[in-house]
Structure 1
Amino acid sequence: MKMKMLAIAMVATFSTHAATRDAAADRFERDLYGNEVVVRTSVLDDFQGGFVDVEQRLDRIGDANYRYRYTEQSEDTKAYHWAYCNALGMEPDQDGETTFEGASSAWVCGQAAGERTLDSVIATAPSGSVPSGINFSAHGQVKFRSSQAGAAKAFLVVDNRCRLDWVHHFGGAFNVQRFIGVACLAHGPGFLSSRLDACVPRVCGYDTGTISVRP
C-alpha cells in the first residue's frame, strides 16, 4: 500500500517491534472531572513492515463497550490516526463519535465525496487475507448521500466479536464517505465473516465479506 511521506514521518516517532504481541493492555486514569478513563495500548501496524505501540484514551460504557473521541487523544495518538487514514488516502474523522466492543482499537477516516445527490448508502465490508496469530486491521468503506440533515451511522462487526459503532450528525444535506476500521485478533487459520451496516435518515444499506486467515 503506497503511503504519503507525511504519514511516514508521523509513524516514525513511535518505537517499533520486530514481532507481534497479542491483545491490548489497559490501565486506568481519572480525568479533570474525576471520571475514569481507560488508557489502552495496542500493538498495531506501523505501515513500514513492523509494529508499534499505540495508546487510545477511551471512555468505558458499561462492561465491554468503549468510546473513542479524536479530540481527547494525545498528540502521538492523533499522529497515528492521521498516518492510518493517510495510508488509505483519507483524513481522520475528528468530530464523530466511535463506539466499539471486543476489539483492541478502532479508527474512522473520511473525506468529502463530491456534490449532493439522491439519498443512498453504499457499504463495502472488509475482505481479504491475513496471517494467523496477529492483531490485524479490518476496514470497510461507506458512501453516504442524504438530501436532508441528520445522522450518518455505521456498524461494523468481524467474526461476531470485534465490533465498532460510529455516528456523525450533519446540520444539512451531506455527501461523504468514511473508511471504518477495527482491529481484531486472528486466532488461527480459517475464515472470518464481516458485516458493515450503514444508514442515513431515509435509507440504510449493508454488505458482507470474508477474511481468510492464513497459517
Structure 2
Amino acid sequence: MSNRTLILCLAIATASPAFAETPLSIDKTELGTKGEIIIVRRTTWPDFDGGQIPVDQHLKPDGFGRLIYRYSDQPEATKLYHQAFCASMDMEPSQGEGTIEGPAAGWVCTRENTPGNPTSKLNSKSIDWVTATAPNGVCLWVFPITQQAR
C-alpha cells in the first residue's frame, strides 16, 4: 500500500467516528400548498464559523425514484444558506433544477464568465460547481463542471 493510500485510509477512518451518531440527512414527507408531495430533507452543513447548521431542502419526487431540487421552491432560510454557500466561492446559486438520487444532498453554484473576469480566459461559458455529501457522511466533494467552448 502506498503512503498516499495509507494516509487517505487513515483520514477516512479518523473522520468516521465524528459522523457515527449524526445522521447524514433526515427525510420527512409533507404536502405542499397545492397538495403535492414534498420531501423535506434536513442535512447538517458548515455554518462558515466552524460550526454546523441544519438546512432543510424541499425536494419533489419525479416518479422514478429521484428527487428534484428547485431553487425557487426552497424556503427563504434555505435560499439564504444556498446564497451564502455559493458566495463563499464567489458564485451564485443556479436558478435551474437538479436531480438527487439516494440520501445525497448538495448545492449547485454558477458564475458567468465576463470579459473582466479572469476565468473568461479558460472558456466562454459558465463555470459551475456541484457539492454533494457522501451517503455515509464521511466526505464532502466539491468539483468543477466546465463546458468547453466549441
Residue 144 of structure 1: how far off its partner (Å) = 6.6
1:107 partner SS: strand
Distance 1:179 1:199 in 2: 12
Which is bigger in relative contact order (C-alpha 8 A, separation at least 6)? 1
2:45 partner SS: strand
Distance 1:198 1:109 in 2: 12
Kept in 2: contact 1:69–1:98 (CA 8 A):
yes
Instruction: Return closer, same or farther for 1:52/1:195 CA change in 2, 3 Å cut-off.
Output: closer
Distance 1:197 1:177 in 2: 6
Instruction: Return closer, same or farther for 1:56/1:89 CA change in 2, 3 Å cut-off.
Output: same
Distance 1:52 1:72 in 2: 20
1:182 partner SS: strand
Distance 2:132 2:63 in 1: 19
1:38 partner SS: strand
The aligned residue for residue 73 of structure 1 is 74
Kept in 1: contact 2:66–2:100 (CA 8 A):
yes
Kept in 1: contact 2:130–2:143 (CA 8 A):
no
The structure that is strand-richer by fraction is 1
How many residue pairs match? The answer is 125
The aligned residue for residue 180 of structure 1 is 130
Residue 36 of structure 1: how far off its partner (Å) = 0.4
The aligned residue for residue 15 of structure 2 is none
Distance 1:187 1:79 in 2: 23
Matches within 5 A, 1:143-162: 145=124
Residue 196 of structure 1: how far off its partner (Å) = 7.3
Identical amino acids, percent of aligned pairs = 30
Instruction: Return closer, same or farther for 1:195/1:47 CA change in 2, 3 Å cut-off.
Output: closer
Give the gaps of 5 or more residues in structure 1: 1-18, 116-142, 146-174, 204-215
Distance 1:176 1:106 in 2: 19
Residue 53 of structure 1: how far off its partner (Å) = 0.6
Residue 89 of structure 1: how far off its partner (Å) = 1.4
The aligned residue for residue 108 of structure 2 is 108
The structure that is helix-richer by fraction is 2
The aligned residue for residue 62 of structure 2 is 61
Residue 52 of structure 1: how far off its partner (Å) = 0.8
Kept in 1: contact 2:28–2:39 (CA 8 A):
yes
1:89 partner SS: coil
Per-residue deviation, residues 21-69 of structure 1 (Å, max 9, x unmatched): 1221111111232210101101111122111110000001235311111
The aligned residue for residue 98 of structure 2 is 98
Letter in 2 for 1:67: I
Distance 2:65 2:112 in 1: 32
Distance 1:80 1:187 in 2: 19
Give the gaps of 5 or more residues in structure 2: 1-17, 116-121
Two-structure CA RMSD over aligned residues (Å): 3.1
